[in-house]
Structure 1
Amino acid sequence: MAAFQPASPPSSAPAGARRLRRDRPLRFRPRLPGRAWADVLGHDRPEGGRVRAVRRIALVLLFTVLFGFPVQMVLIRLPGNAKHRFSRFYHRTLCRLIGLRLRVIGLPSPERPTLHVSNHSSWLDIMVLGAVLDARFVSKADVAGWPLIGTVARLGSTVFVSRTRNRTGAEAQEMRAKLEGGESLILFPEGTTSDGARVLPFRSSFFAIAPAARAVQPVTVVYDRLGGLPVGRKDRAVFAWYGDMETASHAWRLLRRTGTRATVVLHPGFVPDVASDRKDLAIRVGRTVTEAAAALRQNRPVEAEAA
């Protein structure tokens, strides 16, 4: 007796139709050939945006060389605050040209001079704070020799410090002279850039010039949007510039991206005499900046609270 065999289910495919092979995954070819086209035109392209980056670099160079340099070289020789107002306009324009939106919480201290004390994670901080604050930067001496950036820094009356022992006294005196002359300063007391996921301890030695200012204002800067979405830990290196990162390659990766935003929190300023000494002042300001930065990284609302 023959064994019973169940009948095969009826097929809905028409006769003569070719069956799909399931042993290989489906693959789709890009509409335009070549890795470069796929890199630029693909929908999910973390390494894309080359055309966007080239356009932004060209606009920044043209605006700086053809307009920024000539105007500031004239204004810096004239009395008045026109050169300072133009410096803010210049940095705001740079932020627009590279697609970086700014959100500012709080108000700049009305006291003159003010020592603005901020955390530091990227070369972008210069553009961001330069667009928000009417103050001069304190920067390491190496920046003065950088192509283009060094020229922009010198035209912006940046105070360069080498931090070597034989120059510490003279450089501190130069910063005091700026403050005593009514110039506000922007100081990065971490002494270096962080990875964007934390705020490094503030060094008390940077606060030795605080008594020459009428007010000290803590400032928090966090880059909190990428592609229009909150920035996660793995994406902070898109903004943060630290360690042995090259400036050119870091800028190239950043300028490819869209939907970027920096949030600046301007905490209320206070008279430096309220702190018992410069160590207490460094701890007080550092705590305020650190807590605000942590809240912004966690996408929590932040108010400009006093230190």
Structure 2
Amino acid sequence: MEAVARAPIDAPIDALRPRRLRRRKPIRFGQGLPGGRLFEVFTERPLGGRVRAVRRLVSMLLWTLLCLPIQAVLMLLPGHAKSRFPVFYHRVAAGLIGLKVQVVGTPCRDRPVLFVSNHSSWLDIPVLGGVLDAAFVAKAEVGTWPVIRTLARLGRTVFVSRSRGATGQEAAVMRARMASGDSLILFPEGTSNDGTRELPFRSSFFAIADGARLIQPVSVVYDRLGGLPACRRDRPLFAWYGDMEIASHFWRLARRSGARVTVVLHEPFAPERLANRKALAREAQRIVREGAEQLRRNRPATPLAPRLPQSVA
């Protein structure tokens, strides 16, 4: 024991160990798997997410290439197949992207219907397109985007510009579409946002409301990610606004699993029940906003009824 006491030791426990088992330096453990960040499981971008994103991208491209010629032929034929086939395309496309769509309420079938919805992302197109048998109303810039413009035109999208000189002509086109029995999907905010709130509805968009038999407000919220309630920090994964690129936005979302969107179809009402288009915009925004707030607070969503004046028949 005397020899052991005179030996230099790093810790009291070393005094009880033979000299040959003592270590001058602590043990350093490296990574269990070689390759750096590529093999790290608990990072934000695991390898499995990349494989998932590639699979979804390839599936979407193949599905789109398959459906484009079919819709092009249906556009030349009479009947309602040219409006119903895009519903099937969008429904499958939303699943291929990785979105589970939950629908609360019933779409109004008393055509023509003007569906008005909040807007936070390009994802709203496959989501609503797979739920509603209606054509979208999009800004004129969409008609100039490569590839997207082809899909939009085959989907019978109505393009509108922001120039005042063309407003009357575009409103006449939309009224004619509704007079022929087509329903329309309108985003009265005029642009997308970060998904945490609703922008004011522009009353000018409701100038065509007299061409619809009914108006049905719709709330769309992306409320699940990874199977858990989506919080504020998760909104940029779904929301597409500002100068975001659609390719990088699709890539980030396609890597994730367990995403869900809830669509709440509120009770429809006749546009003549309210005095003017400003009153229509205010009431539609109230319904859409309250429905979206229920979902963001992780509460059960229920279709809301409009508040209509009792004195108006």
What SS does the corresponding residue of 1:186 show, helix, strand or coil?
strand
Deviations 1:92-121 (A, max 9, x none): 111111111000000001210000000000
What SS does the corresponding residue of 1:182 show, helix, strand or coil?
coil
Match of 2:82 in 1: 83
Seen in structure 2, the aligned counterparts of structure 1 residues 27 and 131 have a Cα distance that, compared at 3 Å, is: farther
**Residue correspondence of structure 1 range 106-145 to structure 2 within 5 A:** 106-145=105-144
Query: Runs (4+) of structure 1 moved beyond 4 Å?
Result: 8-14, 19-22
The total of aligned residue pairs comes to: 293
2:59 paired with 1:59: yes
| Contact kept in structure 1, 2:103 and 2:264, CA below 8 Å | yes
- Give 1:11 shift: 6.5
* One of 33, 45, 57 as aligned partner of 1:31: 33
Match of 1:268 in 2: 267
Seen in structure 2, the aligned counterparts of structure 1 residues 145 and 17 have a Cα distance that, compared at 3 Å, is: same
**Residue correspondence of structure 1 range 180-259 to structure 2 within 5 A:** 180-259=179-258
What SS does the corresponding residue of 2:222 show, helix, strand or coil?
strand
Match of 1:44 in 2: 42
Deviations 1:246-285 (A, max 9, x none): 1111111111111111100000111011111111110101
> Aligned residues: percent identity?
57
| Contact kept in structure 2, 1:47 and 1:253, CA below 8 Å | no
| Contiguous gaps of at least 5 residues in structure 2 | 1-10, 307-313
| Contiguous gaps of at least 5 residues in structure 1 | 1-7
Match of 2:310 in 1: none
Q: Report the TM-score, using the length of structure 2 for normalisation.
A: 0.89
- Give 1:55 shift: 1.4
CA distance in 2, matches of 1:284, 1:139: 22
- Give 1:45 shift: 3.4
CA distance in 2, matches of 1:248, 1:223: 19
CA distance in 2, matches of 1:10, 1:163: 80
What SS does the corresponding residue of 1:132 show, helix, strand or coil?
coil
- Give 1:57 shift: 0.9
- Give 1:131 shift: 0.3
What SS does the corresponding residue of 2:196 show, helix, strand or coil?
coil
Match of 1:164 in 2: 163
- Give 1:31 shift: 1.4
Query: Residue type matched to 2:31 in 1?
Result: R
CA distance in 2, matches of 1:96, 1:231: 19
CA distance in 2, matches of 1:246, 1:121: 14
| Contact kept in structure 1, 2:90 and 2:127, CA below 8 Å | yes
CA distance in 1, matches of 2:70, 2:280: 39
What SS does the corresponding residue of 1:269 show, helix, strand or coil?
coil
Seen in structure 2, the aligned counterparts of structure 1 residues 221 and 11 have a Cα distance that, compared at 3 Å, is: same
Q: Report the TM-score, using the length of structure 1 for normalisation.
A: 0.90
What SS does the corresponding residue of 1:304 show, helix, strand or coil?
coil
